[in-house]
Amino acid sequence: MLSGEEFGRLFETFQQTAFRLETLSVYDVEEEREEFERFLAGEDMGPDWDDNAWVRSMTDKGKQVSRVHVLSSPLETIGIIDLSELTVTGLPDHDFWLFDDQSVYQMHYTPEGAFIGAELLPDDRLAEYQHYRDRALAEAVPFADYWERHH
């Protein structure tokens, strides 16, 4: 299993696409805790909030980064699958990242949502996870549409 730092290097080396499916309702990410608390308090998030330098470091090179968050209550993300509104079958019950349609990593977390590590899955599971990605993208509602309906 890859550590956080080792896993982070994958974002520097993937060639074209990175896709993530997020399935936990809560994530405990120490590096983001302060920013999250500012957001919840309604404080100014600063210029990086609207123009994320980390994401731009990939998209400026022509790479595509996308994700879908499966949830039961509204959270801000790219795509939303709200299980209280839609029954979606055929998705795993765990997070994963798919890089360049060539490698897939299952994400492991503690029950509290703290990152443990990323496990490279065997190549023979690649088609399965490509299907999960395609299914999630097909079922997901763009966040802006979801927010408009629920805000």
Q: Provide the CATH number for the domain around residue 71.
A: 3.30.870.10
- Locate the DSSP E strands across 3-136: 17-22, 64-71, 79-82, 96-99, 103-109, 115-120
**What pLDDT score does 40 carry?**
66
Dist. CA 146–CA 84, nearest whole Å:
13
Residue 36 included in any domain? no
pLDDT digits (tens, 9 = 90+) for 56-92: 899 999 999 999 988 766 557 468 888 888 788 889 9
Residue 55 included in any domain? no
**What pLDDT score does 133 carry?**
95
Cα dihedral across residues 140, 142, 148, 151: positive or negative: positive
Residue 40 included in any domain? no
Residue 137 included in any domain? yes
Residues of the chain with pLDDT under 50: 77
Residue 60 included in any domain? no
Q: Which structure tokens are listed for 141?
A: 């509602």
pTM, two decimal places:
0.64
Residue 41 included in any domain? no
Residue 44 included in any domain? no
Counting the structural domains of the chain, the total is 1
Instruction: Give the range of the structural domain holding residue 82, as residue numbers without chain letter.
Output: 4-28+65-150
CA distances from 24 to 41, 94, 114 (A): 22, 8, 11
**What pLDDT score does 65 carry?**
92
By the 10 Å C-beta count (0-12 exposed, 13-18 middle, 19+ buried), 105 is classed as buried
